[in-house]
Amino acid sequence: METSDMPPTLAESTTNSESVPPRPPRALVAAVIIMGVMIIVGAAALVGIIIYRIVHHAPTPVVRQEAPALSSSLSGPALLSLPRRVGEQVTMMSARPDGALAVMLKDEQGNMRIVLWSPEQARIIAELTMTHPTSP
């Protein structure tokens, strides 16, 4: 073949251009490597912490509170002796984390009382009275 006086086209000037992919930027390659190393180090640290906690497991101390000495009259179940007002009914009862019971009482006029009762001590701890507002 003869050589031509025409300048070579783009397709002819780059030989074997389809077989060589373009190179990614160096910063991108460095970021991928650093993130891979961080994932491996983090996973190894997590596994190490889990193994350490399993091997050095100390049981949590159980704090037992001694119940106060109750009189001999309370040898059976503790009973709540609550003076109820006329028309008053129990609307709600809820157990608290400290063992006390919160009892809500409501009467016909809309007045409410909340009583905190401790069954262990068989006594009322606190009482909150909320009255219905009166119209002038």
Encode the chain (136 residues) as per-residue pLDDT tens digits: 556 666 666 555 555 556 777 888 999 999 999 999 999 999 999 999 999 998 987 776 666 665 555 444 445 666 666 667 778 888 888 888 888 888 888 888 888 888 888 888 888 888 888 876 665 5
pLDDT for the residue 126: 87
- Residue 90, token pair as written in the block: 């129990």
Give the CA radius of gyration of the chain. Answer: 40
pLDDT for the residue 32: 96
pLDDT for the residue 21: 79
Who's near 63: CB < 8 A, 6+ residues apart? none
3-state helix, strand, coil in the chain (%, to 5): 25, 20, 50
pLDDT for the residue 51: 94
d(C-alpha 45, C-alpha 25), whole Å? 31
- Residue 71, token pair as written in the block: 């009189």
pLDDT for the residue 76: 63
pLDDT for the residue 70: 47
Inter-residue contact 57 to 51 (CB < 8 Å): no
Q: Which of 98, 86, 89, 85 is nearest to 125 (CA)?
A: 98
